[in-house]
Structure 1
Amino acid sequence: MKILVYSGALTEKHKEMISEAANKVGADLCFTENANEVPEGYEDTEIVYGYGMNIIGADNIRMLPNLKWISITSAGVDYLFKPGLFKNEDVIITNASGAYGVSIAEHIIAVSLMMMRSLTYHYSESSNGRWANLVMQKSLKDCRITVLGTGDIGSTFARRAKAFEPAVITGVCRSGKCDDPVYDEVFSIDHLDEILPSTELLVMSLPATKETEGILSRERINLLPEGAYIVNVGRGSAIDEDALYDALQSDRLGGAALDVFRKEPLPSESNLWNAKNILITPHSAGNLTLPYTVNRNVELFCENLLRYAEGNKMNHVVDKNTGY
């Protein structure tokens, strides 16, 4: 068994963790930071672990005819569903769901408070040496929060938001079912139009699928009450960006915090750069920028490696039909 690890974000501690797991299963292991080639002697690699976008960019997966399992360090894997990408179409794909909840939940809390407490305005004024005027603010307390996407990220945020004593936290997902008791109520996406008119903070943590493409359309943005806030940490394809811009410019919305976009990096000509009351971050809410995230990511891979070697069911296997 050969394992190829693209190790750009890994420290020596992480490499030692992976090496120890590989030794337990008797696997040959190769670390490389060069995503543009397959190291000599590893053309028959069975397992790949690493940051998927780099691998895809180098077409390395097509060079691995014996690949049986690819462990991606991201939660979203939509970029892997390309015809003919794998020579072995039965390849197992696992993602890092469960590694990003903490990082992204903190990001959602941070940007929500920045918008609702007018911190962006105060920072701008103080940066220019001005004592800011007092402005009306809003609070997470008694706020009506809707979480669109009740997976690990959405639910980790909801558990933290609960401490702020919101009026209600409503979960919305494809099935309309969620085992996490943090939600006051959970509905299927079929009920989204009924929920949006009473949503003061809409948090979106959806994967990129055919069903989620453009789910927050112009019509649905207009269903939100005046002054509502939107935070998107899932995929940019879920929002009609032109409609969002119009809603911000007309002051219908209180603000929007976007970490993901239809095209990344966000083009310089995008009108979103000049939108009112917008917070733009460069897909950094999760990524591998937080030590906890990297640690948990490696732990998930090592746990799955032992399961794989023993022929046991692995965790976080992506359903190729649903896309997550």
Structure 2
Amino acid sequence: MSKYSSEIEGIKALNQAYHDIRNEISKVIVGQDEVIKFVLVSIFSNGHCLLMGVPGLAKTLLVQTVSRVLDLSFHRIQFTPDLMPSDIVGSEILGEDRTFKFIKGPVFANIILADEINRTPPKTQAALLEAMQEKSVTAAGITHQLPKPFFVLATQNPIEQEGTYPLPEAQLDRFMFNVHLTYPSFAEELAIVKNTTGTQVQELNKIITAADISAFQQLVRNIPVADNVLEYAVKLVAKTRPQTDLSAEIVNRYISWGAGPRASQYLVIGAKCHAAIQGKFSPDIEDVQAVATTILRHRLVKNYKAEADGISIEHIIKQVL
């Protein structure tokens, strides 16, 4: 935090950087404003993001564009049924001098795009777990630190479920946000087709560096939160747990498992960052509500009654809010 003489100056710098990044990304990505916002909030909050959407909605292009604008290293890992853990983290090989040396895998980058993460078996999915939680990987008993900042953006195709391996709850919980991409509007699709069917290539400017991002992540952590906002966030998560003192009626009826304490932590950090990118010096309850659906969506498990009645997770979260 030594980079800024005061917290006020830091928040103004973050607010300005956020708008500059948005403007630069909009040269390539048309629409998807909410998606871009949550991707940037998760980066500045030092979290990871899961993108759900049908093919062709520019998920991969969005991540590549973000990495170019943020001046960060970027690797894409295409998850397939035959992908091995060593294909992600790297492996030891015997060198010419008859000693083993570690060859780094694609996980050693600032931004990792885990494309179609549910296409690979649990053993390989688990290779990402340590990287996401500890920001390090272990090979042959030696721990290797990953570059900072480190951010995983995973994609899933919700339509084609044949030959997929659903992510276990423990891994889903590692993702700060679960963001759903929707089809563009008619005007947006018209702009996309105009921009992408010619020969023009957009030149992107690098807005901030890895050091700036680390400073902003520290800044977000230092933002003060009022007690009533903290209590609101924790109570909101408690309401999603069935058969407890605080659980909501709709939760008792339709939810098997509610969100854990990590959801409360992410709600507060997400609200801090959501406030900061808008130039506010402290989050309020509206900031918690703004990030609640994307944080809780993948942490609640519906029961058979919800499936039978056609009740969506989003509807339940809306009622709890």
TM range (shorter): under 0.3
Relative to its length, the structure with more helix (as a share) is: 2
| TM-score (norm. length: structure 1) | 0.25
- Bigger relative contact order (CA 8 A; separation at least 6): 2
| TM-score (norm. length: structure 2) | 0.25
